[in-house]
Structure 1
Amino acid sequence: MNYKNITSCNYKRVDEIISCICSNEYPFFLDKSNVVGVGLGYKVKNGFCTFQKCIKVFVTEKVPSNELPSADLVPPIYKGLMTDVVDAGYFKPHSLTQKVRPVICGYSIGPQPIFGVGTLGCLVTDGFSRFILSNNHVLANFNSLAINTPILQPGVKDGGKAEADVVANLTKFIPLRPVTTFRRPDNYADCAIARLTDKSIASPEIALAGNPKGVKPPKLNEYVKKVGKTSELTEGRITAINTTYTADYGTKDVLFKNQIVTTFLSQQGDSGAVLLDVDNYVLGLIIGGTNTFTISNNISDVLRLLSIGIITK
């Protein structure tokens, strides 16, 4: 392959070059019609994985090349690297819905005044207190709720009642910074934590999976699983890593970097579930997906931004 034209990414390994392009040169792709993400993946040809590393280009809908303006065409080769255009569909923030005590990860949670619900991913700690981990859009309703907002299990939509079902209080969230007319801010995680009202009220066990064993970095093509409140235990594979992706939150678009893309694992309500490998190591935090893919934050970014660690027992 010819890498001589790559000026902004001074790496030698193909995966490092592609990851650098996806993190720094993504506007070349995202400014094209229908393109919502780019990541490091394996080229798929005639339905078969070739195990050749390429730039995965995620589009909301595949359109015949003769119907697109030349400026919106994705080149088959970009700076000497193969591209692979994938029909991803449209992103939607994504039920183990009953009340359970002690609270078990994977079940329904939600803030007291809001009808929306999501999934309790896992228990975490800052070294002093215990917290539940989920998404900002689940626990803080996209930056809009006050610190100390009560968190219910199950969430209001699943029958949770004020006071009787409060298990935690919103403690911290990483603000989501949406795309504007003039700016496209970088985001790395849609995440929030809520301090447990009592450390004995929740268990680190993940329903149908067991306790998490720790954290690991994601690897291309590895088998993964998740437990969420809507679709419960599902399994799949990682199809792209180091992905830059534009997520549509309804009234706002948010640009995320360093994301994990998997085969379809989640449905609405599964947002906040953790992405696990086959040995129960946490790889990511699910934020949503399309009708063909699921998108997760890299767990290393989540833990770094919130200054927390996973509780395993």
Structure 2
Amino acid sequence: MTQSLFQPVPTEMVAAKMELRDRLVTRLERQAVRALALRKRRQYHPSPGVNLVGIGIGEKIVDDRPTSELCVKVLVARKYPRGKINRTDRIPAAIGGVPIDIEGVGYPKKFLLPNQQRQRPVPAGVSGSLTFEAVGFQYAGTLGVVVVDTQQPGVLYALSNNHVLANENRAAIGAGTVQPATLDGGRPVDRVAALDRFVPLVYNNEPNQMDAAIARFDAGIAVTREILAIGALTGSGDPTLNLLVRKSGRTTGVTEGIVRTVQFDVFNVVYEQGTVRMDDVMVIEGVKGSFSRPGDSGSAIVDPQGRVVGLLFAGSDTVTFAIPIRRVLQRFRVDIAT
């Protein structure tokens, strides 16, 4: 079965992806007892046996070269020679006539960490975190994009990840956000916003739709609706295969990438409270080196027309994972501030 990359994804391709996902999820569920035990001992890294990263739809790669053939894409932490894999763990070359491609990308992990300055007025694409008083430690993420309340057009929020603005469900509503982040020297005097809402994360192979939170800007804080070093936005859009995108993040600044896989279900993303499964996300590959690094979590993914198409939440050694933005906007009843 050969399918052009420039046509809509056929239903049989989606069905094959879902069938393979369900087979592999059953294997993961058998490991739930061990995962829970590890969580109780605060050992959150998946075992070497948990090699599956996730499943989606993308372009088949042969000998490091793209083939222009659409396939079910399976990403693994490490790709082993077929002869060294137990027969029961092997992934077939095709399913229902649909080809399967396997690629090693390293283990995914949430992105938080190194360097940026205080910015006033506050733009998006800059260092931000909860206050030290709210969490008891220093860290850094990215305030991804400024959004506006659809019911109250004058109310602006910073949109980022739950793990950036809500400390993985543990922050209290109203907890302060500082810019720059505490890891970058942010102090109480640098407070710019307060946690307003977040979507709770669930762990250990329970499906999530997003890692997202919004913080309402405090009265008197000057805010620009632009993303630092990218500029003004035009709205929101949907991610498509081979779409050229860019982001402005706290650690790596502005980088360009290409959406290589869509409708991707990613497993075993390492968070502080356990491993997270995130369904129906996009996979981005950097054009020149890494598209993102720790500290870029929460960055907005922007297409060439200035539309936000995704919200960055995690990455591995070679690829970045982002949530389609329209799902997030609908959940919080907000729009991109333009």
2 CA distance for matches of 1:293 and 1:21? 23
- C-alpha deviation, 1:18, in angstroms: 2.8
CA displacement 1:36-78 (0-9 Å, x = unmatched): 2000101111222112110110100011111111111111111
| Residue 248 (1) aligns with residue 270 (2) | yes
Give TM-score scaled by structure 2 length.
0.84
Could you tell me which residue of structure 2 aligns to residue 29 of structure 1? 24
The alignment partner of 1:271 has SS state of coil
- C-alpha deviation, 1:255, in angstroms: 1.2
- C-alpha deviation, 1:253, in angstroms: 1.2
2 CA distance for matches of 1:83 and 1:239? 15
CA spacing shift, 1:53–1:274, aligned 2, 3 Å: same
Alignment of 1:165-184 (within 5 A): 165-179=190-204, 184=205
CA spacing shift, 1:307–1:17, aligned 2, 3 Å: farther
Moved more, 249-258 or 120-129: 249-258
Equivalent residues of 2:162, 2:211 under 8 A apart: yes
- C-alpha deviation, 1:29, in angstroms: 3.1
Moved more, 231-240 or 301-310: 301-310
| Residue 220 (1) aligns with residue 241 (2) | yes
2 CA distance for matches of 1:88 and 1:199? 45
Alignment of 1:201-216 (within 5 A): 201-216=222-237
Equivalent residues of 1:227, 1:233 under 8 A apart: yes
2 CA distance for matches of 1:23 and 1:116? 37
Matched to 2:259, the amino acid is I
Equivalent residues of 1:23, 1:242 under 8 A apart: no
CA spacing shift, 1:304–1:24, aligned 2, 3 Å: farther
Pick one of 242, 258, 269 that aligns with 2:295: 269
Equivalent residues of 1:23, 1:257 under 8 A apart: no
CA displacement 1:87-133 (0-9 Å, x = unmatched): 11011211661101001111100001241210011111223111000
Equivalent residues of 1:97, 1:230 under 8 A apart: yes
Could you tell me which residue of structure 2 aligns to residue 258 of structure 1? 280
Matched to 1:165, the amino acid is D
Equivalent residues of 2:147, 2:334 under 8 A apart: yes
Alignment of 1:10-25 (within 5 A): 14-23=9-18, 25=20
The CA RMSD over aligned residues, in Å, is: 1.8
The alignment partner of 1:235 has SS state of strand
Equivalent residues of 2:147, 2:337 under 8 A apart: yes
Instruction: Give 5+ residue unaligned stretches, structure 2.
Output: 3-7, 29-49
| Residue 231 (1) aligns with residue 252 (2) | yes
The alignment partner of 1:300 has SS state of helix
CA spacing shift, 1:15–1:29, aligned 2, 3 Å: farther
Could you tell me which residue of structure 2 aligns to residue 305 of structure 1? 331
Could you tell me which residue of structure 2 aligns to residue 66 of structure 1? 83
| Identity over aligned pairs, percent | 33
Pick one of 110, 116, 122 that aligns with 2:145: 122
Pick one of 104, 116, 127 that aligns with 1:87: 104
The alignment partner of 1:279 has SS state of coil
- C-alpha deviation, 1:14, in angstroms: 4.9
Pick one of 317, 324, 330 that aligns with 1:291: 317
Equivalent residues of 1:138, 1:272 under 8 A apart: yes
CA spacing shift, 1:21–1:141, aligned 2, 3 Å: farther
2 CA distance for matches of 1:23 and 1:200? 46
1 CA distance for matches of 2:123 and 2:190? 14
Moved more, 41-50 or 232-241: 41-50
More helix per residue: 1 or 2?
2
- C-alpha deviation, 1:34, in angstroms: 1.0
Equivalent residues of 1:189, 1:256 under 8 A apart: yes
2 CA distance for matches of 1:298 and 1:26? 20
1 CA distance for matches of 2:322 and 2:14? 16
Moved more, 14-23 or 293-302: 14-23
Moved more, 214-223 or 133-142: 214-223
Equivalent residues of 1:15, 1:40 under 8 A apart: no
Instruction: Give 5+ residue unaligned stretches, structure 1.
Output: 3-12
- C-alpha deviation, 1:250, in angstroms: 4.2
Equivalent residues of 1:228, 1:270 under 8 A apart: yes
Could you tell me which residue of structure 1 aligns to residue 47 of structure 2? none
| Residue 146 (1) aligns with residue 165 (2) | no
- C-alpha deviation, 1:199, in angstroms: 6.6
How many pairs does the alignment contain?
Answer: 297
CA spacing shift, 1:40–1:159, aligned 2, 3 Å: same
